[in-house]
Amino acid sequence: MSKNKGRVRAIHVMAQANFESWMYSSRTCFMFLFVTAFCYVVCGNHAQAIQGLNMHWGETLFYILYNGCNITMTSILFLITISEIPQRMGYQYNMLIRSNRIDWLYSQLLYCVWMVLAMTLLVVFCASVFVLPSVIFKSGWSEDLRIAQGIITEEEALVPSFIRQNFTPFSACLYALLPMFLFWITMVSVVLVFSLFGAPVIGLVFYALMLMGNVVFMVEMIAGIPMPIYYATLNNITVGWPEKEFVKYNQAMVGYVVVLLTLFIIMFFRVKRIDLEFDSARRM
């Protein structure tokens, strides 16, 4: 039992050191400022669109998360701050003496989860605050009332019917956040895999192309498969699939799980076969 506690503590300490180094870097601070600014612009544009509709706070927040809150630009900013995974910090040699390669890998994965959580919480917090001037605090879906009164039609509703019929605004926000969270987890995992193979820059370029390929190369699909960005938001996953929204959503979630498990298996075997280097003047 004490040995397991020691392993957990070592994993936690290594992950915490990496996370604190990332959080307090000037690059991350600037990223947070720019993401906040993007959220402000998105929420301001949405406020103009819903002016006079008296939409509720929860459903307004859901609609912003449903569309990803400009996830392409926020993801690119996030990608810039994770250019060095794993963090090159010399003290980790001492930690490796007290742990092992697999525990080190677990610490990197935990560090990645914490980064994505920080990014997700930032977007949710900013969106929650910036929509306050344009909403009212009531529960439920205001659009159901407007549809019943004949003010708008079902086709004009901002929130899809399958969401309003099956979720509260709070649970719908969580439902919309999951694809964003898994998209970012996959992104940092891909960068980590490339770093373990000694090519972190290639990992960054590769995922940047996945984010912007439809704009740079005017390509919507590769071999019939949409770009990963199309699986980043609930809107992209479910739009155009009436009465099949849950099926498409579940398929996307299963796809994420398969990809993440594959990446973890690659990392697991790779980390056993490389020399770990943490000197900031050198690169793996």
Mean pLDDT rounded to a whole number for the chain: 82
pLDDT tens column, 240-264? 888 888 999 999 999 999 999 999 9
Higher pLDDT, 8 or 172: 172
**pLDDT the model gives residue 116:** 94
pLDDT in the model for residue 95? 65
Query: Looking at this protein, which amino acid is placed at residue 154?
Result: E
CB atoms within 10 A of CB 138: 15
**Are the beta carbons of 236 and 66 closer than 8 angstroms?**
no
Over range 145-171, report the average pLDDT: 84
If one compares 70 and 121, the residue with the highest pLDDT of the two is 121
pLDDT score recorded for residue 281? 42
* Mean pLDDT confidence for 120-130: 93
> Residue 277 — pLDDT band, cuts 50, 70, 90?
low
Cα gap 264→262, rounded to integer Å: 5
Assess whether pLDDT exceeds 60 at residue 225. Answer: yes
Other Cβ atoms less than 10 A from the Cβ of 17: the count is 17
Between residues 152 and 239, the one the model is more confident about: 239
Query: Rounded to whole angstroms, how far apart are CA atoms 36 and 200?
Result: 27
Determine the longest span between alpha carbons in the chain, in angstroms.
Answer: 69
Radius of gyration of the chain (CA): 21
**Is pLDDT at 230 greater than 50 in this prediction?**
yes
State pTM to two decimals: 0.87
